[in-house]
Amino acid sequence: MSLKLKFDGKSVDWNEVVNILIESGMPHRSPEVHKRAFYMSHPVLFVYSDNKLVGFGRAISDGEYQAAIYDVAVLPSYQRKGIGKLIVSKIIDMCPNCDFILFASNGSERFYEKLNFKSNNTGMILSAGDLNPAATHVHDSLSDHTEVNTQS
């Protein structure tokens, strides 16, 4: 299978991105939201087979020592052909010296284990949906020069 790789979001059809997320059982948002998320991410990778988008992935990285991988998805009819491994491997190659974190979807754990990822017991998450209004207010009011008094 001949594959073409694209390393930016220019000319990507974001409706196709949403479609692949839906088809592969991943959470999805509107095409515009995914476009903005990919544009604000680095590195990003889109895989085409015969000019058809068949998979993608992205990371958020400081480019030095930390990176987080998100939205790795392959169209179901193209799965188990090495495309997912290609996507993650390329992202890793593009962030040399970085540690990587990710949340594996249910059922994809073995895929990541084969790429040498290991479970970690101390990973923690604060979901946007769990943020209470007070916490959001404090966060919004912070700027570079804001002094905050904490209870101590």
Ligand X SMILES: CC(C)(COP(=O)(O)OP(=O)(O)OC[C@H]1O[C@@H](n2cnc3c(N)ncnc32)[C@H](O)[C@@H]1OP(=O)(O)O)[C@@H](O)C(=O)NCCC(=O)NCCS
Q: Looking at 73, 91, 95, 98, which residue binds ligand X (CB under 6 A)? A: 73
CA 40, 41, 43, 49 torsion-angle sign: negative
Stretch of 4-12, 29-37, 38-46, 103-111 lying at the interface with ligand X (CB under 6 A): 103-111
Answer yes or no whether residue 111 interacts with ligand X by CB under 6 A.
yes
Indicate the residue among 107 and 133 with the shorter CB distance to ligand X.
107
Give, in order, the Cα–Cα distances in Å from 30 to each of 19, 22, 65: 10, 11, 31
Structure tokens at 146: 């804001």
Answer yes or no whether residue 80 interacts with ligand X by CB under 6 A.
yes
Indicate the residue among 68 and 94 with the shorter CB distance to ligand X.
68
Stretch of 3-11, 43-51, 110-118, 139-147 lying at the interface with ligand X (CB under 6 A): 110-118
Contact status, residue 94 vs residue 57, Cβ threshold 8 Å: no
CA atoms lying within 13 Å on the CB side of residue 86? 21
> Under 8 Å CB-to-CB from 66, ≥6 apart: which residues?
98, 99, 101
**Of 12-71, which residues contact ligand X (CB under 6 A)?**
24-26
Contacting residues toward ligand X, per CB under 6 A:
24-26, 72-74, 79-85, 102, 104-105, 107-108, 110-111, 114
